[in-house]
Amino acid sequence: MPIPWLLVPRPLVNDNAPTTEDNAVVELLKVPPVVDELAERFAAAGHRLYLVGGSVRDAVLDRPTTDLDFTTDARPPQVQALLKGWADAVWDTGIAFGTLGATKRGETVEITTFRADSYDGVTRNPEVTFGDTIDGDLVRRDFTVNAMAFEVSTRAFVDPTGGMAAVAAKVLDTPATPEESFSDDPLRMLRAARFVSQLGFTPAPRVVEAMTAMAPQLARITPERVQAELSKLLCGAHPRLGLELMVRTGLADLVLPELTAMKLEIDEHHQHKDVYEHSLVVLEQAIDLEDPELSPDLVLRLAALLHDIGKPDTRRFEDGGGVSFHHHEVVGAKMARKRLRALRYSKEITEDVAQLVYLHLRFHGYGKGEWTDSAVRRYVTDAEHLLTRLHKLVRADCTTRNKRKASSLQRTYDELEERIARIGAEEDLKRVRPDLDGNEIMRLLGLPPGPLVGKAWKFLKELRLDRGPLDHDEAIAELFAWARSEGVELPER
């Protein structure tokens, strides 16, 4: 559930500076009841509790958020004591870093003691040091837009690094120098690209300069952490902006080198589309086809971005000035699988994206509708649960500026979808199975369970795809004919 905050322009209330009319800011007037309850407990014990980071930033931007992240001057044992007897559940897996989590009436909160960490410059693991002031805690954060805090009990807004001004200007900058910030935690460079995607902000020139110079330091970060940031970037509202920043600064060379490789040099005698630019357009067009009522489709977005990943490795210059990319979908599927595995994506996501990359060209064999019903069945069964995504990917892959050609392609795909719907209604294509099941195959052929039964089952499924449903007697006759051709000794009947 989004946090129901009400935002109203008010004069600045700041712990560190006197109120002036020039300080335009917002006061958060409504928070979930559990927040006020928690703040009262901390205040009664003599401690301060601040909403902080993305929760405040999103409130200022009037964006929905489910985060309830807090910081406090209370040390972890004191936080534990204050949560005891109030929270429905408490977990302390992050207590070594000063963080405790809790739930109360369905709301989840995370509370971290003020931090003043130092980093060794080799790993991203800090030497945890607790701080004493909210300013000191905020200054060590990644970006100024995330370095604003709101003291719940007093309704005081704290903004020592100019986060509100950065939000107003839609600029992404660091509280300290970018070099200091990124040296502390190189993942912040990728996080910058993620925030560009999510918020549509522009990184400050000094941030871009530091990212470009320090991009190799991202190698210090584990693939799992990199993957999490990349996924959030791709699921943002402006993923193209984030990806372009990654390529421009060299971060993509470490995270998705295949993306940079798609920036193929265009030979004046061998014209073809800019594969990199084309892929970004396909990504945008695929996003336009997503259901706005559902969450962003990470699988579809990855497939759209990577669908032509195999083109650089398959490019061939042809006589007469042409360029070919034969079998780039086959090569691309292998490359996508390898890259997603390296980024520690789940097996399901990896295989789904690779299959979409492999299938994205299949439609172009349809021509003007020459496919037989058998070919249509195979298209559906090969796509399986990915059929809806495949429809969107194929439609998004049309980026020609020739309006007549684009319209023709879309009409042809409309026709294919209509054929799929018609044949599907007649034959239930989503559950294509042989006309005889495994048990009946074993009974008819007198076989025990084993590879030969699977081979017979596969033969019957292929037959079903080619010819559609067979009546029972015809299916048995075909099975016996196949068995004789395979040298299977049939039982006496």
263 in any annotated domain? no
Q: Which amino acid is at 104?
A: K
d(CA 243, CA 280): 9
Other Cβ atoms less than 10 A from the Cβ of 374: the count is 15
Domain boundary among 255, 288, 307: 255
Identify how many contiguous H helices and E strands the chain contains and give both numbers: 23, 15
pLDDT score of 159:
93
Rg (C-alpha) for the chain, rounded Å, is 29
What is the arithmetic mean of pLDDT over 49-73? 87
Q: Do 331 and 410 belong together in one domain?
A: yes
The whole-number pLDDT of residue 156 equals: 87
Question: What's the confidence (pLDDT) of residue 11?
Answer: 37
Host domain of residue 368: 274-431
- Indicate the DSSP class of residue 322: -
Q: Which stretch of 23-27, 66-70, 77-81, 479-483 has the lowest confidence by average pLDDT?
A: 23-27
For residues 115-119, give the mean pLDDT.
66
Statement to judge: residues 474 and 326 lie in one domain: no
**How many Å apart are CA 359 and CA 230, to the nearest integer?**
24
**pLDDT category of residue 118 using cuts at 50, 70 and 90:** low
Q: What is the rounded distance in angstroms from the CA atom of residue 35 to the CA atom of residue 337?
A: 44
pTM for the model:
0.80
Q: Are residues 353 and 331 in the same domain?
A: yes
pLDDT on residue 479: 82
- Is there a contact between 110 and 125 (Cβ–Cβ < 8 Å)? no
Beta strand extents in 2-81 (DSSP E only): 7-11, 24-28, 49-52, 69-72
Q: What is residue 121's predicted lDDT score, i.e. its pLDDT?
A: 55
The reply to whether 38 falls in a domain is: yes
Residues 448 and 327 in one domain: no
Q: Which of 66-75, 208-217, 293-302, 331-340 has the lowest mean pLDDT?
A: 66-75
Give the domain-ending residue among 140, 169, 198.
169
Average pLDDT over residues 248-268: 84
Q: Are residues 150 and 9 in the same domain?
A: yes
Is there a single domain that holds both residue 163 and residue 193?
no
**Contacts (Cβ under 8 Å, ≥6 apart) of 262:** 275, 276, 279, 308, 309, 311, 312
Ranges 51-65, 81-95, 286-300: which has the least confidence: 51-65
Compute the distance between CA of residue 259 and CA of residue 125 in angstroms, rounded to an integer. 29
Looking at the structure, tell me whether residues 300 and 427 fall in a common domain.
yes
- Domain identity same for 282 and 162: no
C-alpha 95, offset from chain centre: 29
Q: From residue 161, how far is each of 27, 204, 492 by CA, in Å?
A: 17, 14, 88
* Residue 41 belongs to domain with CATH number: 3.30.460.10
Regarding whether 132 and 37 lie in a shared domain, the answer is yes
| Residues 356-408 pLDDT 10s | 999 999 888 777 778 888 888 888 888 989 999 999 999 999 888 788 888 88
Whether residue 425 is found in the same domain as residue 459: no
* pLDDT beyond 80 at 35: yes
Dump pLDDT digits (tens) for 205-241: 999 999 999 999 999 999 999 999 999 999 999 999 9
Cα–Cα separations (whole angstroms), residue 197 to 203, 240, 243, 246, 436: 11, 7, 8, 11, 52
Nearest CA to 214 out of 121, 336, 348 is that of 121
Write down which residue in 169, 189, 221 finishes a domain: 169
- Rounded mean pLDDT of 183-205? 96
Strands 7-11 and 24-28, sheet pairing = antiparallel
4 shares its domain with 101: yes
Return the minimum-mean-pLDDT range out of 136-145, 170-179, 328-337, 428-437. Answer: 428-437
What is the percent of the chain with per-residue pLDDT over 90, rounded to a whole number? 51
Distances (CA, A) of 397 to 130, 282, 331, 447: 52, 5, 18, 48
Share of the chain above pLDDT 70, in %: 87
The candidate with the shortest Cα–Cα distance to 208, out of 234, 233, 172, is: 172
Please state the rounded mean pLDDT for residues 325-347. 93
pLDDT for 268 equals 42
- Looking at residue 389, which CATH number applies to its domain? 1.10.3210
Q: Confirm whether 261 is domain-assigned.
A: no
Rounded to a whole number of angstroms, the distance between the first and last alpha carbons of the chain is 66
Q: Same structural domain for residues 164 and 31?
A: yes
Q: Give 313's pLDDT tier (boundaries 50, 70, 90).
A: confident
**How many domains are contained in the chain?**
4
Q: DSSP string of 287-343?
A: HHTS-TTS---HHHHHHHHHTTTTHHHH-EEPTTS-EE-TTHHHHHHHHHHHHHHHT
* Residue 491 domain flag: no
Q: State residue 12's pLDDT score.
A: 42
